[in-house]
Chains A and B, each alone.
Chain A
Amino acid sequence: MTATPTPAGPAGAGAASPTPLLRLDNVDTFYGPIHILQGVTLEVMPGELVSLLGGNASGKSTTLKTALGLVRPRTGTVSIAGEDVTTRTTSYRIAKGLAIVPENRRLFAPMTVLENLEMGAYLHGSPTKEDFERVYTLFPRVYERRSQLAGTLSGGEQQMVAVGRALMCRPRLLLMDEPSMGLAPILVEKSFEIIQQVHEAGVAMLIVEQNANMALSIADRGYVLSTGRIVLQGTAAMLLADDDLKKAYLGR
């Protein structure tokens, strides 16, 4: 595939651009001898909704893991709000304003919804009333189910709890790993509504998705990964109109 050169960076880059919330600069990540991410550079600005697209084994999840510090890059830097955090722990990065909704949600099944939310607030001691209020206002359903065991919830409700739990970290940037995975089509739509709701509440988001159409329809910008390299980037509208992308991922 030939990479279409697109104007780099978010709209308005150059003139007095604000510091990006998250920046991966020329990151190379390895799993043992296998070179996964090859010179990935990516940014998320405050309040932005960015989609990270790509097929299977293109390095999408590894990008998130590198951002979060679950794996360390061999070269390149990761910075949060201008601060180089490449050698910092996951805890530190989350304290700096990152949060993640992991792939498959990974709720604590034998615990109640309330306990799951409390887990999210680990880094700032005990969760405050405002923390809970924020989640409950976004998802009244979560409030209804707060004393129920998370494992007994339906898929859509679990998604809300997973997002709620991540919001308990008080993130400035929420990473979402395949939010539509394993959900019924109607719940996929619901899931993207949830994402928009959270975004409208002022949280920047980086969404990893296979469902390119859906992800681009709500995003400001997008990156396309292929075998560990960023092959396309630009505004969502540009990417939606790109012929290569259409052929490769949208199936049209």
Chain B
Amino acid sequence: MSSGPRIGKDEWVAREGEQRERRSGLLGGIARAQARTPWWAFLAVFVVLACLVPVVTSDSYIQRVAFDTTIFMLLALGLNVVVGWGGLLDLGYVAFFGFGAYLYAILGSSQFDIHVPTIVVIPVVTLAGALLGLVVGLPSWRLVGDYLAIVTLFALQIFRSVITNGHDIFGSNVTNGVNGILKVDPLSWFGHALPVSHRGLFNPDYLYVAIGFFVVIYVALRFVNASRTGRAWRALREDPLAATSMGMPIDWLKLMAFAFGAGIAALTGTLTASVNAAVFPDNFDVPQLITIYAMVILGGAGSQAGAIVGAVVVNVMLESLRSPDNSRWVFYIAVLLLLLPVLRSARKYLLLVAATVAFGFAVHAIAGAIDPAWTRGTTPGGGAVGRAIAHWAIVPQSLGSTREASYVLLIAAVLAVVTIRGRWKLVALVPTLYLASFVWENVLGPQPEITRYILLGAILVGVMTTRPAGILGERRVEIV
């Protein structure tokens, strides 16, 4: 290649790797250390930490959250096979989860008084789920993208219809309809049942079982991904036509991706059914689907570690936002972080924060002087920070119609700030931020069950716009 002209040689791309090596500072060091650490070391540390949860805390609620997070990690791993690796938009995924749970419940409860031992029922359910995945995946031979999404979404609707009306299938009560199947058997090991609760508290053994399944699935998928089938899935995701041109049987590969995902989801369903000792139709619906998708996409579709990170972040965040104190922290930190890219200058940033704080105290003092009732209310959650905030933000004793008015005003103010340019933007931001805190303390904060989803959504938007490929997703490179 020495004979070629010097002009136009793109040596700079060749040095991309060297540039990465030369990255200085803390971040560069972390990136290099991360690249050198083998994957199983991360997995081992993570598993040890997860197993330590019941040792560190005897709080049954936290243990249960850890269990649910592990369930979501399994579901995210399965969905990652279909969506992240195969590139198939499967909106029926939750149906396989529900199918697994229901099949487990039917094979082990007083519904038909069948009690198949765990050691038999788990492989059976997993295989049956995988087979169902093959069938539901068949339309993927002809359909891709949004077309496949809509077809699989209807598969989920069919599943929902069957289980909610399954109290009368050819005259026999199979699923007990909307009331769900109760008294589902716990997991058992050669006749020894694993009780779901100890003296009314969550039995941490279930957490260990779930983590055990997680490790097996994670490692198995790791090998699958490194195999030629895993490689072919990635080829299929990137370019189905090119994959066909390499001789890959893409129809079969699509079905395999569906079957793997469905099998894992069905397996996870058995754990949920056993730990809850019941299954209900509402546990397997679109909200669960969206949550699992959010986990996979936030973590970075295609990355196994990303699916884990996504599951942990989303589920732990949703749980912790149930407390107004936690959600207040998240709200204010999110607002402060959101301002960073808006201002792009440390001086302006500090000025704005200081101005807002001063503005708040001033307004608070004036309002208190006019009518003490305007500042006599209590902030949601209380706590030291909550009480401190009460000296700054206006929290009236009773809101009346200001509740709706403030909300509408805030939206108008945000729209105005977005359109204003230059110095006045900074000026307009001060009352807008103060209004935002008013809305938070009076309207949103007191209703964490609603606002946690709003907050999570806002965080998702923030993370995804700064890292479009997700937290651990591969960087996208387009051929130009």
Query: Could you count the A-B residue pairs with CB atoms below 8 Å apart for me: how many are there?
Result: 94
User: Assuming A100-B245, A119-B246, what are 15 further A-B pairs, CB within 8 angstroms?
Assistant: A89-B249, A94-B246, A102-B242, A102-B245, A107-B479, A109-B478, A111-B238, A115-B231, A119-B235, A123-B246, A123-B247, A151-B478, A152-B16, A152-B477, A154-B9
Q: Mark B296-330, 1 if CB is under 8 A from A, else 0.
A: 00000000000000000000000000000000000
Query: CB < 8 Å: which of B234, B235, B249, B479 contacts A158?
Result: B479
Distance in Å from the Cβ of B293 to the closest Cβ of chain A? 21
**B476: Cβ under 8 A from any A Cβ:** yes
Distance in Å from the Cβ of A220 to the closest Cβ of chain B? 24
Chain A residues near B14 (CB-CB < 8 A): 144-145, 148
CB-CB nearest in chain A for B239: A106
Residues of B within 8 A of A (CB): 1, 5, 8-10, 13-14, 16-17, 228, 231-232, 234-235, 238-239, 241-249, 474-479
Residues of A within 8 A of B (CB): 68, 70, 89-91, 93-95, 100, 102, 105-111, 115, 118-120, 122-123, 125-126, 140-141, 144-145, 147-154, 158, 165, 169, 186
Q: Are A109 and B238 in contact, with the CB atoms below 8 A?
A: yes
How many angstroms between the C-alpha atoms of A108 and B476 in the bound complex? 11
Q: Are B477 and A122 in contact, with the CB atoms below 8 A?
A: no
How many angstroms between the C-alpha atoms of A148 and B476 in the bound complex? 13
Q: Are B241 and A91 in contact, with the CB atoms below 8 A?
A: no
How many angstroms between the C-alpha atoms of A165 and B238 in the bound complex? 15
- 20 cross-chain CB contacts under 8 A: A89-B249, A90-B245, A91-B247, A105-B479, A106-B242, A108-B235, A108-B238, A108-B242, A109-B478, A110-B475, A110-B476, A111-B238, A115-B231, A119-B243, A120-B246, A126-B228, A148-B14, A150-B477, A150-B479, A154-B10
Known: A115-B231, A151-B478. A122 touches B246 (CB 8 A): yes
Known: A90-B244, A91-B249, A108-B242. A151 touches B232 (CB 8 A): no
Chain B residues near A115 (CB-CB < 8 A): 231, 234
Chain B residues near A93 (CB-CB < 8 A): 247
Q: Are B17 and A147 in contact, with the CB atoms below 8 A?
A: yes
Most buried by A among B10, B241, B477: B477
Q: Are B246 and A169 in contact, with the CB atoms below 8 A?
A: yes
Distance in Å from the Cβ of A65 to the closest Cβ of chain B? 10
Query: CB < 8 Å: which of B1, B9, B247, B478 contacts A122?
Result: B247
Query: CB < 8 Å: which of A107, A119, A144 contacts B232?
Result: A119
Q: Are B477 and A90 in contact, with the CB atoms below 8 A?
A: no
